[in-house]
């Protein structure tokens, strides 16, 4: 887990967990809050995992919270395949792809009009059911992924489009994704390391990425040398 200050382009804190559990994320937030206690963030961008949403609501309840639109779009394109034989699915995919390009309230209004026109036209398709024969389930929605896409697109606007109300707030966490991409590349270049060595490697990599000059390097060494000598 990495917690990044996007404005200053610096990683504030990082940790390693076997899963993104509520307990693990809340422990992280307790430490992050101590780091930023004198200057709370003006906004938060997350991928909307349940534990992260819960932690933001608990620790930063008054801070604007943006759902990363890159992750939203990625999920939508998975629900709405490019070569779907269903015309309605292909039409909804085109609408879904536009969500990342919305830059103003006018853009949002036009986009919502297109979306709700689609819903009005294909409402019956969303209600179609398949009856199970010889299965545990008696029935299910025939176009389940399309329904999931519509549910995601009609998600609370204050989270999908928080960046329109707060211009300082990015609509994606691409800054963080850039760090993740670099780490994946480094690990790929050092294939064969066991998991615990990968964790150590990444922790050192993130530590030295915060070193911008000789003064930072000296501060890092001063904070670590006694621990290293004791070890």
- Provide the whole-model pTM: 0.85
* 80 alpha-carbon distance from chain centroid: 20
pLDDT for residue 231 is more than 60: no
pLDDT for residue 73 is more than 90: yes
| Tokens read off for 194 | 């066991």
What's the pLDDT tens digit per position in 89-111? 999 999 999 999 999 999 999 99
E-only strand ranges, 105-179: 129-131, 139-141
- Say whether 40 sits in a helix, a strand or coil: coil
CA proximity to 200, closest of 212, 188, 187, 213: 187
What's the pLDDT tens digit per position in 12-63? 999 999 999 999 999 999 999 999 887 889 999 999 999 999 999 999 999 9
What's the pLDDT tens digit per position in 192-216? 889 899 999 999 889 888 887 888 8
- Residue 181: which pLDDT band, with cuts at 50, 70 and 90? confident
Tokens 């300082």 -> residue: 168
Domain residue limits, the chain: 2-65+174-230, 69-165
- Say whether 166 sits in a helix, a strand or coil: coil
> DSSP per residue over 102-113, as a string?
--SHHHHHHHHH
């Amino acid at each position: 887990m990495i917690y990044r200050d996007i404005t200053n382009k610096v990683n504030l804190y990082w940790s390693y967990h076997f899963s993104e559990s509520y307990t693990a994320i809340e422990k992280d937030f307790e430490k992050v809050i101590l780091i930023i206690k004198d200057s709370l963030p003006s906004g938060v961008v997350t991928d909307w995992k349940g534990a992260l949403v819960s932690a933001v609501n608990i620790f930063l309840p008054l801070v604007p919270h943006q759902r990363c639109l890159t992750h939203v779009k990625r999920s939508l394109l998975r629900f709405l395949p490019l070569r779907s034989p269903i015309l309605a699915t292909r039409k909804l995919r085109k609408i879904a792809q536009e969500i990342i390009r919305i830059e103003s309230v006018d853009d949002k209004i036009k986009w919502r009009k297109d979306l709700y026109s689609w819903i009005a036209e294909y409402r019956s398709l969303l209600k179609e059911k398949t009856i199970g024969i010889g299965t545990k389930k008696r029935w299910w929605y025939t176009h389940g992924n399309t329904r999931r896409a519509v549910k995601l697109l009609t998600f609370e606007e204050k989270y999908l489009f928080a960046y329109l109300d707060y211009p300082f707030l990015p609509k994606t966490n691409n800054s963080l994704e850039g760090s993740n991409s670099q780490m994946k590349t480094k690990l790929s270049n050092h294939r064969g390391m066991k998991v615990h060595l990968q964790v150590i490697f990444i922790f050192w990599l993130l530590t030295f990425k915060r070193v911008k000059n000789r003064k930072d390097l000296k501060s890092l060494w001063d904070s670590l040398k006694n621990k290293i000598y004791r070890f």
